[in-house]
Chain A
């Protein structure tokens, strides 16, 4: 170093420092070492608030361990469609996102979801394996992880069964008989037949139970026009006219819960949410002091002449591939899907949130209340809504446009003959599967 000038080393050090500061200012970002890593997760509000609290606890715990700032945003499930669309449009938003209901998002957003093959492979063995692995693969890839489902048993009023001299029903014909008797004393059977997710679930269950389906295994052939569909439609028409009130045509997903908890319906096809809310709110049987939760029982989803099958909302979780934190997001998924964490999460949700993993279907929570005893049985016969075909964007569109409920409603209300209603549904589905109909 000279006394009047600047040494070469000093010059280089100063220049490097200045260049660094200039770089930081130009990029508008702190250097990597100073940056706080952030991970955001968008999910839907669970029916059981404790589920969300437990998820948040795990997310915070994982964030603290890994020095990652985490943010869990919770929205109503009805808002998720809009949120997903806007995040994909902007290629920005949350890193992790809830997807569904249904596996169709994996096909619809195939180009925007990160592959989760590695995570799916890691978490399965620790939890006894996936229930039906092939159902969840979309175009042969894990574009999402199936997260939880609310299985659909039948909720029935035991006091009313006693009154009409019946026992717990098992088949759809049993339900028709009970519904008729119940309706005669002012307590009809209730299942939505309008534009609601519950309507899709129950009417598909009936179709499958009578041997019908709307798409073949190849995921291309529309199979709705069949003898079996006609039989199922005749059954639903009888159920509608003889055992239900016309209001079911206008029901949303909350209506059947309300009907049961109001003491009106003798039975509904629904997850355990109606029972749980009746228990929480201490709703009583009208005209008595007896709590309605005490006279509700849950039985398996009904069997038909051919099969016993049902479906439900397949709630999934995925990682946007435009996220800057794909690896972090995968790491959290691995953490959340650890058996001890999933166990705590299912416990918090009272089993309403059953994961698609074999060991979790045997969770002790399902033995903690007599009401939950059939839920693992229901899970065993639960298939995706497109069954026996694969889940695609087209199959999701059939659900989203409520073609199945509309077909049944047109015939049940006498607006169309069975042939007309089936021909209408067949044409709609063919157009959707041929891609001629604009996506919703």
Chain B
């Protein structure tokens, strides 16, 4: 075998084959969701059928059920509105909080950073009861605003912590140069630091969007009208009826629900990876 041929084959054993099990493991849920959403109910119930294959023909009935007999597309739009709004708010606040914590020295700065991290650790299942009182007092119950306001309670600490790590990887010297040239703090942040920190910001935004998109508990508790539900709650409410689960419909909802996240990660994957790794090593 020639040396060039060996060089071509080598990645197969050193890269592709070792990675293959992980790829299969990661993609299996998506694959299973997809084929379940196209199977007929009779096949879904049949224990003798092979669960990983479609053997009795494809049906679009579950997607039709979602589209025609539920408010699925309204829920989809609601999820999109809430997730985008909560992400924008959280990333902006996160940037403004992370910059001083990463760059400036002031009394209680470290403790404040730690407090933000601890806030992130408090689970929503503990917070939803007091938050329901807050949402009610603000008069936001049964509106999408209740979610836009409450999601940042777990997104801002996360974004702040992630961006703090990223900002610390950016050399201080370039900011100092900008300040020597007459930039103020805010200008330095906007004109110097942020353009350099785009991967970190995108990484934070992606995470925030994913967390908002998948959120279930607050969306269940704070919003009741069917037309205002988010996708996670709406699909669950409509397609689990007593002890009957509409598995095909549930999987169809899950498939469509995965798409925005998949699209977002495909477009920004490089930023995402560099954002994560840069923040991780500092």
Contact = CB atoms under 8 A, between A and B. Distances in A.
Contacts of B224: 40, 42, 73, 75, 83, 93-94
A412 to B, nearest CB: 23
Contact of A281 (B41, B48, B222, B241): B41
Interface stretch (B16-24, B131-139, B153-161, B264-272): B131-139
Contacts of A262: 45-47
A258 B136 contact: no
B220 interface: yes
A27 interface: no
Q: Is the interface on chain A under 10, 10 to 19, 20 to 34, or 35 or more residues?
A: 35 or more
Contacts, number: 104
A410 to B, nearest CB: 25
A262 B47 CA distance: 6
Given A83-B221, A93-B141, A286-B48, A47 B242 contact: yes
Nearest to A291: B42
B80 to A, nearest CB: 22
A264 B47 contact: yes
A57 to B, nearest CB: 16
Interface stretch (B2-10, B91-99, B232-240): B232-240
Interface in A10-45: 40, 42, 45
A434 interface: no
A90 B240 CA distance: 27
A273 B46 contact: no
A40 to B, nearest CB: 8
Contacts of A76: 236-237, 240-241
Contacts of B221: 82-83, 86
A177 interface: no
Secondary structure at the A interface, as helix, strand, loop or mixed, is: mixed
Contacts of B245: 254
Contacts of B196: none
Nearest to B228: A73
Contacts of B128: 82, 86
A45 B242 contact: yes
B236 A79 contact: yes
Contacts of B45: 258, 261-263, 281, 283
A78 B240 contact: yes
Contacts of B243: 47, 198, 253-254, 256-257, 270-271, 273-274
A89 B222 CA distance: 12
Given A45-B240, A78-B240, A86-B128, A283 B41 contact: yes
A79 B136 CA distance: 19
B136 A77 contact: no
Nearest to A72: B226
B242 A286 contact: no
A282 B242 contact: no
Nearest to A282: B42
A373 B81 CA distance: 51
Given A76-B236, A83-B220, A150 B132 contact: no
A49 interface: yes
Given A47-B244, A49-B241, A92-B141, A284 B42 contact: yes
Interface residues of B, number: 31
A85 to B, nearest CB: 6
A89 B47 contact: no
A306 interface: no
Interface in B24-51: 41-42, 45-48
A274 to B, nearest CB: 8
Nearest to A260: B45
A281 B45 CA distance: 10
Contacts of B135: 90
B46 A74 contact: no
B240 A86 contact: no
A254 B45 CA distance: 12
Given A73-B224, A73-B226, A83-B220, A273 B132 contact: no
Contact of B132 (A77, A86, A261, A271): A86
Contacts of A83: 220-221, 224
B179 interface: no
Given A86-B128, A89-B132, A45 B46 contact: no
A136 to B, nearest CB: 22
Contact of A45 (B48, B225, B241): B241
Contacts of A91: 133, 136
B47 A263 contact: yes
A112 B128 CA distance: 19
B217 interface: yes
Contacts of B129: 85-86, 89
A303 to B, nearest CB: 24
A277 interface: yes
B246 to A, nearest CB: 9
A273 B244 contact: yes
A253 B225 CA distance: 27
A90 B226 contact: no
Nearest to A150: B242
B241 A47 contact: yes
Given A74-B237, A90-B135, A286 B47 contact: yes
Interface string A44-88: 011111000000000000000000000101111111001101110
B182 interface: no
B130 interface: yes
Nearest to B238: A45
Contacts of A263: 45-47
Nearest to A79: B220
A270 B244 CA distance: 12
Interface string B186-198: 0000000000000
B130 A89 contact: yes
A258 B136 CA distance: 41
A90 to B, nearest CB: 4
Interface of A: 40, 42, 45-49, 71, 73-79, 82-83, 85-87, 89-94, 150, 198, 253-254, 256-258, 261-264, 270-271, 273-274, 277, 281-284, 286-287
Given A45-B240, A75-B237, A273-B242, 8 more contacts: A46-B241, A46-B242, A75-B233, A78-B240, A91-B136, A257-B243, A286-B46, A287-B48
12 contacts: A46-B241, A46-B242, A75-B224, A76-B237, A83-B220, A86-B129, A86-B132, A89-B130, A90-B132, A254-B244, A257-B244, A283-B41
Which 7 pairs, one residue from A and one from B, show the smallest C-beta to C-beta distance? Answer: A47-B242, A90-B136, A86-B132, A253-B243, A73-B224, A281-B41, A90-B132
